[in-house]
Amino acid sequence: QSALTQPRSVSGSPGQSVTISCTGTSSDVGGYNYVSWYQQHPGKAPKVMIYDVSKRPSGVPDRFSGSKSGNTASLTISGLQAEDEADYYCCSYAGSHWVFGGGTKLTVL
C-alpha cells in the first residue's frame, strides 16, 4: 500500500496551463479506471475535482481535466486562476483499498 508519486510542487502564471502527474503501478492506477483528484485549500477539507480518471462532478469548472496513460494519471488545469492555488491529491483504487498520492502544491505566480 505505497503512496502514489506526485511532484512536490508545480507553478504557473494566471491564464497558463499546468499538469500534475500521479504515478502508481499496475496494481492501482494502471489496473483500474478509478482515479480521482482532490483540491485542498489551507485549513479546509478536500474537494473532489475529477473522478473515474476524467469525469468532472457537477459544479467543477471545465478548466479541470483528467487523463491516464499506463500507470500514470494526470490532472490538467487550464486558464489558471488565483483561486486554483492549493494542494492537489490523486487517489486510486488498489483492490479492496484506496491509496493517495503525496500531494502537489500548486502556486499561481
Residues that bind other proteins (CB under 8 A): 1, 3, 34, 36, 38, 40, 45-48, 51-52, 57, 87, 89, 91, 93, 96-103
Residue 46, all three cell numbers: 478536500
Query: Largest Cα–Cα distance in the chain?
Result: 40
We find the least distance from the C-beta atom of residue 1 to other proteins, in angstroms, to be 5
Residues 6+ apart with CB under 8 A from 61: none
We find the least distance from the C-beta atom of residue 102 to other proteins, in angstroms, to be 5
In the bound state with other proteins, the residue whose beta carbon lies nearer, of 12 and 66, is: 66
In the bound state with other proteins, the residue whose beta carbon lies nearer, of 53 and 77, is: 53
Burial of residue 63 (number of CB atoms within 10 Å: 0-12, 13-18, 19+): middle
In the bound state with other proteins, the residue whose beta carbon lies nearer, of 13 and 67, is: 67
We find the least distance from the C-beta atom of residue 89 to other proteins, in angstroms, to be 5
Residue 71, all three cell numbers: 500507470
First-to-last C-alpha distance (Å) of the chain: 35
In the bound state with other proteins, the residue whose beta carbon lies nearer, of 16 and 98, is: 98
